[in-house]
Amino acid sequence: MAQDRTPAPYARDFGDPRRAFRAGARLAVGVPAAVLAASYVGFGALVQQVDLAFWHALFSIATAWALPGQVALVELYADGASLLAVTAAVALTNARLLPMAITLIALLRTPGTPQWRYYLAAHWIAVTGWALAMRDCPAMPPAQRLPYFMGICLVIWSVSMMGAAIGFALAGNVPAYVTLGLVFLNPVYFMLVVAGDVRGVSRVLAAILGAIGGPLLYLASPDWSLLITGLVGGTLAYLIGRVRAAGP
């Protein structure tokens, strides 16, 4: 941290990185933590229902914390998809992390910070922590931004594991209809994420084409349907959106 910092022109100055970390953690305890825990209850239940072990769920959260890709992986595993099909589908599902990482890390950079810290912090870039940090960090001194982001993420990351533990423990030990409801949490949650998030002709079209193509192509090829749906539906939607934008 720069000791010779000039009096703060920043609207949100927590004083030092340690306090910024705690402020981020405090922000995360509440609605963000509740949303993450609840969504990972569904993931835990799904993992239990496809006969995977609890440590598989934990390993997945520890190493690849981004729920859409995690759910896609478990679903494809349950369908007996090949390694290549699973890897490609997860990569495409998570490609949206690239623009998110580019924008967030640019905001978190401070001169003199070793590069590896950014590569480490990037491991926790996912939609909730990203959105909160993108909203709050511009008003903060640069040296406090990375700790603030990590404060948010470490809370919602731990809570994700707890949520998965609860979902895993409940599934199979509660009446069947409750377990089914917990598994149903996954598609309903993502359906509302997509429905609430899509803006612009091409993205709306992408969501619609995906919803049509996903089930139809699945009938033809359970392995590759997800990948083809994303590539073909997404590209088609993108092209139509461009033609319309350039149109008469």
- State the nearest-atom distance from the C-beta of 135 to other proteins, in Å: 17
Residues 213-242 interacting with other proteins (rule: CB under 8 A): 213-215, 217-219, 222, 225-227, 229-235, 237-238, 241-242
Binding part of the chain for other proteins, among 7-15, 60-68, 134-142, 162-170 by CB under 8 A, reads 60-68
Q: Which two tokens stand for residue 205?
A: 């079209």
Q: Based on the shown chain and the rule CB under 8 A, indicate whether residue 164 belongs to the binding site for other proteins.
A: no
- Alpha-carbon span 148 to 136, nearest angstrom: 9
Instruction: Tell me the residue type at 241.
Output: G
Binding part of the chain for other proteins, among 10-18, 149-157, 161-169, 190-198 by CB under 8 A, reads 190-198
Q: Based on the shown chain and the rule CB under 8 A, indicate whether residue 175 belongs to the binding site for other proteins.
A: yes
- Alpha-carbon span 126 to 191, nearest angstrom: 18
Q: Based on the shown chain and the rule CB under 8 A, indicate whether residue 244 belongs to the binding site for other proteins.
A: no
Beta strands in the chain, from DSSP E residues, in sequence order: none
Q: Based on the shown chain and the rule CB under 8 A, indicate whether residue 125 belongs to the binding site for other proteins.
A: yes
- Alpha-carbon span 177 to 193, nearest angstrom: 24
Q: Based on the shown chain and the rule CB under 8 A, indicate whether residue 129 belongs to the binding site for other proteins.
A: no
- State the nearest-atom distance from the C-beta of 199 to other proteins, in Å: 10
Residue pair 132/27 in contact (Cβ under 8 Å)? The answer is yes
Q: Which of 19, 87, 169, 223 touches other proteins (CB under 8 A)? A: 87
Residue closer to other proteins (CB basis): 18 or 96: 96
Residue closer to other proteins (CB basis): 18 or 55: 55
Binding part of the chain for other proteins, among 4-12, 15-23, 158-166, 208-216 by CB under 8 A, reads 208-216
Total length of the chain? 248
Q: Which of 31, 49, 19 is nearest to 178 (CA)?
A: 49
Q: Which of 2, 8, 30, 119 touches other proteins (CB under 8 A)? A: 119
Binding part of the chain for other proteins, among 8-16, 21-29, 144-152, 212-220 by CB under 8 A, reads 212-220
Residue ranges in the chain assigned as alpha helix (H): 17-28, 31-49, 54-63, 67-78, 83-94, 97-108, 115-121, 127-136, 142-170, 176-197, 201-220, 225-228, 234-246
Residues 2-31 interacting with other proteins (rule: CB under 8 A): none
Q: Which of 1, 29, 38, 170 touches other proteins (CB under 8 A)? A: 38
Q: Which two tokens stand for residue 93?
A: 């599902």
Residues sharing a CB contact under 8 Å with residue 231, sequence separation 6 or more, in sequence order: 92
- State the nearest-atom distance from the C-beta of 12 to other proteins, in Å: 22
Calculated CA dihedral for residues 85, 87, 91, 55, nearest 10 degrees: 130
Binding part of the chain for other proteins, among 5-13, 144-152, 162-170, 189-197 by CB under 8 A, reads 189-197
DSSP state of 123: G
Residue pair 76/89 in contact (Cβ under 8 Å)? The answer is yes
